[in-house]
Chains A and B, each alone.
Chain A
């Protein structure tokens, strides 16, 4: 099966800092791939390059075999990639449902339309998306007043608006209560299973990682140090070393504190 995403020797340097250094991996359709690593390992930078929000210093990103490196984010998005942000990015001056409508409007290429009333456009579709992430009851609230967990779910709804084939999620459960985390991961896993999209996510919560990922990549100082199924990663000596030899427990603890 051809991979939906292929990353070849991808690097990004900020001056002397090698945030990402020679990363290569593949992602198959329907696969849920976790990218883990300590803070500062280069995960978000990696996401930024995949999404076209940072230009790689070198290397390539291939989507369905097509080289998309250097494309602007909006073009990557149109090619079927959606993302959520580590620090949630929503439109604070709009209601929840309008946030999703804005994404839908862009999907339907109507964002420059100056005539139609926005309120009526794609309302039902937006509500359906909110329903999916369990936010329908909050549709009318201003996004600026949402609790953090709800913002994460709104962020997800927006990332799903154009039915992406590849979803990038940067720390989807960071800052949530444990019960909420599990729920969100369940939710995501369900959507992924139903729609058959591929997911690449970073996560500090090891329960989430080992409970849902089909495969795990471990990044340290910009380099991939391990790649394999969750059980193998759990047992990998180098991974344990990176996480100060404490195993998964320490990993989870570090995430909570950091």
Chain B
């Protein structure tokens, strides 16, 4: 009994920091509709800033002052990021802002490394709260009790701010209906900046508050991000009470999981997440999303047309040059090109899903990594030949996509995105913790191609054929009835249904197809590397693909593979230098600001201005 109570208290104490970070993320999403990937970075900054402040501010006053100050400082940094970067891209296609927040992650990682150094910092302990209190004989740290006391205070303050002040009225109004707030004549810009300040301040506060229970290290941004996503999604995006409820739920569940299911804590969290979302696709206290709320904003997409012969000739020539690479390039260039080709296919598959289907998936790595694991498991455990495994990878991933899509497509917009993320994380945690079959962290090693494809050059041709073939097939599909039906379902779902289109089945087909091709890319990947590890299923792999698609340009047909090629090459070049993450992050942010329509979109605009191509339709000009 005493133990159970003590465990409950541990869970409640853990919920504190989690709630603060999650409520910040939720708040920002609710008002600005930005999914702030960089929220974990603000949490990390809170920890580092708090640490530094505690070094200079003495005593208990200094300690608590430092915590409050780090909230303030981090909030200001967040507001700065909003003003400098995000404000410029609100009119960009939906969710484009997350590219910018990804750039922020990279920048913060390197800045933190440069400022605070590589060594983990142990958080100072709270003055006067070092001991324990005995609760029914069980030791409970005093600081835990402090956290349990602070969390409701913060939650109440937030509640007061939102329910009882004019600012809160505006925030609530914005959460319900953004247009209305704009119509009320409220300066939406400052409302957004203010929300960012508050959201990031909460993250910073969370980071500083957990110092006495841990410290500051350079990996904590991603560690917390995964957890916070789970909490926000379970609670309901944009719902503060939901964030509170879910952080308590997850924290308490974790504590009991640690004691009674010590091997499966990760899986447990994601199983709960998937279960909740299947039951309530909008989270426990989330609001059903109004259709069209996340509709495409920005300039309308241009109608597509099959490429004319000059472009076809150019592409054919470029492919011929690429195919001849082994004859004129270095041996390494062949390896690099193979990697890029494979990644391009992966990116193109997600791009099809987002571009044609309007379905933003946050968990595409599930199918890339899933395909890789299917192939690797077949080879390593059943001694299946490469040809069969390579076929099984897309089939397995496609079937998985069919199952996941069937469930996830019950929701739409960002909830769909979160459901896909939940499944991807579930798969990742299963692969990680089911070591007997999957090899866990040690992965599956020694999965090399069959003899005929074993040289780097031979494998390059295999990758070239399959990747280019896959990308061309996707492109062909865009110009086929299926592609048009998909865009119809995306542009005007009611109209599509009222002209006989089965929109959900169309989207399911698109999802399965994207999964299949991602699985093919994963199969190619595993034989090119000879091994596969759980990190191919991680969130960051899904993020990579998303970033690439948005950078390439969603409203273009070639954005996927162009973005893939540019990103992968840039990374290959930049990683040779110290502080490359800073450079890459700034580069990404620059692209976001300069070319919110993506690389291909911007290139097209430039070409048009230079008079290189004519407008998509002459009649268009007179309409402006």
Chains A and B directly touch (beta carbon < 8 Å): yes
Contact with B along A71-98 (1 / 0, CB 8 A): 0111001100011010001111111001
Q: Is the CB of B482 within 8 A of A112?
A: yes
Q: Is the CB of A77 within 8 A of B500?
A: yes
| CB-CB nearest in chain A for B299 | A144
Selecting from B21-29, B178-186, B415-423, B486-494, the interface stretch reads B486-494
In the assembled complex, the CB of B502 is this many whole angstroms from the nearest CB of chain A, namely 6
Q: Is the CB of B509 within 8 A of A102?
A: no
Checking A90, A93, A146, A159 against B302 with a beta-carbon cut-off of 8 angstroms, the contacting residue is: A93
Selecting from A60-68, A114-122, A174-182, A233-241, the interface stretch reads A114-122
In the assembled complex, the CB of B401 is this many whole angstroms from the nearest CB of chain A, namely 16
Checking A72, A78, A118, A162 against B481 with a beta-carbon cut-off of 8 angstroms, the contacting residue is: A118
Q: Is the CB of A94 within 8 A of B487?
A: yes
Alpha-carbon gap, A255 to B476, bound state (A):
47
B483 at the interface (CB under 8 A from A): yes
Checking B485, B487, B488 against A112 with a beta-carbon cut-off of 8 angstroms, the contacting residue is: B485
Alpha-carbon gap, A78 to B501, bound state (A):
10
| Number of residues from A at the complex interface, CB < 8 A | 47
Contact with A along B589-624 (1 / 0, CB 8 A): 000000000000000000000000000110110011
- Residues of the B chain whose Cβ atoms lie less than 8 Å from the Cβ of A146: 623
Contact with A along B377-413 (1 / 0, CB 8 A): 0000000000000000000000000000000000000
Alpha-carbon gap, A185 to B122, bound state (A):
77
| CB-CB nearest in chain A for B497 | A73
Q: Is the CB of B485 within 8 A of A102?
A: yes
- Residues of the B chain whose Cβ atoms lie less than 8 Å from the Cβ of A85: 494-495, 498
Q: Is the CB of B300 within 8 A of A89?
A: no
- Residues of the B chain whose Cβ atoms lie less than 8 Å from the Cβ of A102: 484-485, 488, 499, 501
Q: Is the CB of B499 within 8 A of A103?
A: yes
| CB-CB nearest in chain A for B493 | A89
Alpha-carbon gap, A116 to B506, bound state (A):
17
Q: Is the CB of A74 within 8 A of B497?
A: yes
A256 at the interface (CB under 8 A from B): no
Q: Is the CB of B303 within 8 A of A106?
A: no
Contact with A along B306-334 (1 / 0, CB 8 A): 10000000000000000000000000000
- Residues of the B chain whose Cβ atoms lie less than 8 Å from the Cβ of A26: none
Q: Is the CB of B620 within 8 A of A111?
A: no
B133 at the interface (CB under 8 A from A): no
Alpha-carbon gap, A18 to B485, bound state (A):
35
- Residues of the A chain whose Cβ atoms lie less than 8 Å from the Cβ of B301: 92-93, 144
Alpha-carbon gap, A73 to B504, bound state (A):
13
User: With contacts A92-B301, A140-B619, A142-B620 known, is A101 near B484, CB below 8 A?
Assistant: yes
Alpha-carbon gap, A94 to B491, bound state (A):
9
User: With contacts A83-B498, A102-B485 known, is A117 near B479, CB below 8 A?
Assistant: yes
Contact with B along A116-155 (1 / 0, CB 8 A): 1111010000000000000000101110111000000001
Q: Is the CB of B506 within 8 A of A112?
A: yes
Q: Is the CB of A90 within 8 A of B303?
A: no
Q: Is the CB of A118 within 8 A of B300?
A: no
B480 at the interface (CB under 8 A from A): yes
Alpha-carbon gap, A233 to B616, bound state (A):
51
B477 at the interface (CB under 8 A from A): yes
In the assembled complex, the CB of A27 is this many whole angstroms from the nearest CB of chain B, namely 18
- Residues of the B chain whose Cβ atoms lie less than 8 Å from the Cβ of A119: 305-306, 479
Alpha-carbon gap, A162 to B501, bound state (A):
13
- Residues of the B chain whose Cβ atoms lie less than 8 Å from the Cβ of A103: 499-500
- Residues of the A chain whose Cβ atoms lie less than 8 Å from the Cβ of B494: 53, 73, 85, 89
Q: Is the CB of A142 within 8 A of B484?
A: no
Using a CB–CB cutoff of 8 Å, the interface residues on chain B facing chain A are 300-306, 476-477, 479-485, 487-488, 491-492, 494-495, 497-502, 506, 509, 555, 616-617, 619-620, 623-624
Using a CB–CB cutoff of 8 Å, the interface residues on chain A facing chain B are 51, 53, 72-74, 77-78, 82-83, 85, 89-95, 98, 101-103, 105-107, 110-119, 121, 138, 140-142, 144-146, 155, 158-159, 161-162
19 more contacts with CB within 8 A, not counting A73-B497, A91-B491, are A74-B498, A74-B499, A82-B498, A91-B488, A92-B300, A94-B491, A105-B481, A106-B499, A106-B500, A111-B482, A112-B485, A112-B506, A113-B481, A118-B479, A118-B480, A118-B484, A119-B479, A141-B620, A142-B300
Can you show 23 pairs from A to B with CB atoms below 8 A apart? A51-B498, A73-B494, A73-B498, A74-B499, A74-B501, A77-B498, A82-B498, A85-B494, A85-B495, A89-B495, A91-B495, A92-B301, A102-B488, A105-B484, A106-B500, A111-B485, A113-B481, A118-B480, A140-B617, A141-B620, A142-B300, A142-B303, A161-B499
